[in-house]
Amino acid sequence: MLTVEALTKTYKTGDKALRSVSFTVPKGQVVGLIGPSGAGKSTLIRCINRLVEPSEGRVLLNDLDITGLPAGGLRRARRQIGMIFQEYALVERLSVMENVLSGRLGYVGFWRSFLRRFPGEDVENAFRLLDRVGLIDHADKRADALSGGQRQRVGIARALAQDPELLLIDEPTASLDPKTSRQIMRLIVEICAERGLPAIINIHDVVLAQQFTQRIIGLQAGQIVFDGTPDLLDEGVLTRIYGEEDWTAMRRAAEEDDHAERDAAERMAGMV
């Protein structure tokens, strides 16, 4: 379980990116983190694993106080926190398999990692993960030969190779088309359910968040202004978070895309 207690981030300029943010995420729950640009979403994600140092407050992962750890302890703790990035953060000249195995760098010695000599069980697990994300036939391809959706699947497999206790996911669909975005969100949610993994997804697409996450936290100016189930996220709440927008039209367009995708899948299944 992840527990965030009164987390605050104040920059040297005096600007507050986070203002006493508190919440818990139990095992297996997928949380969508929404809000306008500058609301503090990415800062919150990065404060949890201390890529950004919080000014005040605590972050506890299964009772381990992440915020209180020295450098060595933080490196070990980060093994338990899988991070999936918007821009994939792959080493493009390396193969898909090598990128997945890079998720094990925190567990192997320097020379093994330098020479890319990973234990056999790590390699076997990487193959299983590539099969799970639908890329088993691409294991030997260079990362720069993949599509955006395939690169994001590699990022998911790499994060899972850490055998994490928590997933932090920063804008996983921002660079993807609508169909691929739904596929990636569906894959993340299914994997979290299979493994009992808690996850926080920083996502700009409100409709996707409502379709796929179990809980939504809305940030505005560094503060939580909504925390509840997707069905409670009505037009009034969304307007409080983002301002005026035609939310009904946005939902209708997303539903039409979803129905079209399902119809196409059913037609393909009927042709097999």
* Residue pair 156/188 in contact by the 8 Å Cβ criterion: yes
Residue 163 bridge partners (DSSP): none
CA distance 194 to 127: 18
Residues in the chain: 272
- Chain centroid, CA 155 distance in Å: 10
User: Using one digit for the tens of pLDDT, what is the confidence trace for 97-111?
Assistant: 999 998 887 776 654
User: Using one digit for the tens of pLDDT, what is the confidence trace for 148-184?
Assistant: 899 999 999 999 999 999 999 999 888 889 999 999 9
Type of residue at 90: L
Task: Write the CATH number of the domain with boundaries 1-80+164-246.
Answer: 3.40.50.300
CA angle 26, 27, 31 (to 5 degrees): 60
CA angle 220, 224, 229 (to 5 degrees): 110
Listed in order, the ranges of the chain carrying CATH 3.40.50.300 are 1-80+164-246
- Checking if the pLDDT of 91 tops 90, the result is no
Predicted TM-score (pTM) of this structure = 0.84
